[in-house]
Amino acid sequence: MSMHQASGRWKLGLLLALVTAACWATLPVALKLTLEQLDPYTLTWFRFLLAAGVMLAWLAARGGLGGFARLDRRRWWLLAVAGLCLIGNYVLYLLGVQYTSPANAQLLIQLAPLLMALGGIVVFGERFNGWQWAGLAVIVAGLGLYFRDQLSGGLPPGGEGYLLGSALVVLAAVVWAVYALAQKQLLLRLSSPAILLAIYVLASLVLLPVAKPASLLALDGLHWGLLLYCAVNTLVAYGAFAEALAHWEASRVSAILATTPLLCLGAVGLVHSIWPTAIAPETVGLAGWVGAGLVVLGSTLASLMGQRRRAG
């Protein structure tokens, strides 16, 4: 069976991977600030609505809407499950960011691809090699060390809300893994953009009853800019991610993306230094930095060594 080969333009692949990491690192900060004037459901509904419009126009221009006619009832149900899970991921993650800090949410959401990998073992009979299991153990150890640092002096500002937010982000990672596994099965009949279009349209309809579109009129210029950034961020990030895979090896792209939690910590520090009243600084001690570093190391280890085994 023929396998996809990267174009070899590694500098372009590296640049696109860095764009993706920057988008994902800054998104929690932008979401946190947007939530000052907008509720989570309206914010998520607007992001899905804009994404649906852009994706519909793009697929229509390319003639990519014909695949839906080939779906049977079982796959329509699977598409609905994938859609509901991605809706749950967006909403739960946003609720988590509302209660906890952006960097904490970004660190915890790193569980999502690992849970997807574990689900692949159960659902699709995939296998982890020893290095990948070691990477998983390093990630768990890093998360434990990070939260021990965060809770060493008692609960951070926000008290029980910090723990609630963390739990919501973990749940967001779980439902994302279910979505990703459902999407993998759907790829046998639909392209990834077509799947995302169906999910975006479904999400726009499902969230409309709880969204408050009129509240958008009350946003000031700054928060409108932040809202548009949140909406465009996902489209840019996933577009850059897809192109990065076209030009560079998947393992190397994954290794760059594993640095996202550290970049998010830097983004929070930068915004706080420029605009101290906008967002609270992350209070991370030495043990917390070591834990965050271990999460990055474990993610890199799992992606690089998993790719090496498949190549072998």
Q: What angle do CA 106, 112, 114 make, to 5 degrees?
A: 120
- Beta bridge mates, 154: 152
- Residue 31, burial from CB neighbour count under 10 angstroms (0-12, 13-18, 19+): buried
pLDDT at 5: 52
The pTM score is 0.77
Q: Judge contact between 80 and 207, C-beta under 8 A.
A: no
Mean pLDDT in consecutive groups of 10 residues from the start of the chain, 312 residues: 54 84 88 90 92 88 74 83 89 88 82 76 71 80 81 58 86 88 78 82 91 92 92 83 69 70 83 80 79 81 59 45
Distance CA 120, CA 108 (A): 20
pLDDT at 210: 92
Q: Position 236: which residue type?
A: V
- What is the three-state SS of the chain? CCCCCCCCCHHHHHHHHHHHHHHHHHHHHHHHHHCCCCCHHHHHHHHHHHHHHHHHHHHHHHCCCHHHHHCCHHHHHHHHHHHHHHHHHHHHHHHHHHHCCHHHHHHHCCHHHHHHHHHHHHHCCCCCCHHHHHHHHHHHHHHHHHHHHHHECECCCCCHHHHHHHHHHHHHHHHHHHHHHHHHHHCCCCCHHHHHHHHHHHHHHHHCCCCCHHHHHHCCHHHHHHHHHHHHHHHHHHHHHHHHHHHCCHHHHHHHHCCHHHHHHHHHHHHHHHCCCCCCCCCCCHHHHHHHHHHHHHHHHHHHHHHHHHHC
Q: What angle do CA 166, 106, 165 make, to 5 degrees?
A: 20
pLDDT at 159: 57
Tell which residue, 200, 266, 286, has the closest CA to residue 28: 266
